[in-house]
Amino acid sequence: MIVSAKTEYACIAILELATRHDSGEPVRIREIADAHGIPSRFLVQILLQLKSAGLVNSTRGAAGGYQLARDPSEITLGEVMSVVDSQSAAIRSYAEHPTRTAQILLKSWQDVARQERDMLSKISFADLVGALKEQGEEMYYI
């Protein structure tokens, strides 16, 4: 599975918003960008794309920022990834002559891609928030 930087940053941003969803407070772009080393200008573009897809809402002004438009349990990794990187679903053969061999390979790759999409559609951001909390509880500092 190949994940672009844009897709990773989008998932990081959604996960950050998901961890703060219960607070009801908008999260500033700068907070997310600084915490994860993401270029702010790039993150703005990503969040605008997520906003047009109905995944996030924005609030203007001094106390403004971004919030999830839906509950984290209703947003999946697969949904975010397909919004940000729509070309990832395109699997095709580059063979000039579509032989049976090339067709069998293509079908196999498409089957794997379908299973990957199915798995990603089962992982909600609420699941990921839970995993973050579990990981935080297991960490010991000396």
Spell out the residues 6+ positions from residue 126 whose beta carbon is closer than 8 angstroms to its own.
Answer: 18, 71, 72, 73
> What number is the average pLDDT over the span 84-99?
77
**CA-wise closest residue to 123 among 75, 91, 87, 81:** 75
Q: Which two tokens stand for residue 40?
A: 């702010």
- What's residue 96's pLDDT? 80
**What's the whole-number average pLDDT of the chain?**
91
Question: Higher-confidence residue: 27 or 95?
Answer: 27
Helix or strand (DSSP H, E) at 115? helix 100-120
Q: How many domains does the chain have?
A: 1
- Taking only the tens place, the pLDDT of each residue in 96-117 is 888 999 999 999 999 999 999 9
Distance in angstroms (rounded) separating the CA atoms of residues 20 and 75: 14
Q: What is the pTM of this model?
A: 0.86
What is the per-residue DSSP string for 21-65? GGG---B-HHHHHHHHT--HHHHHHHHHHHHHTTSEEEE-STT-E
- What's residue 135's pLDDT? 85
Distance in angstroms (rounded) separating the CA atoms of residues 41 and 43: 5
- What's residue 137's pLDDT? 60
- CATH code of residue 80: 1.10.10.10
Domain that holds residue 34: 5-138
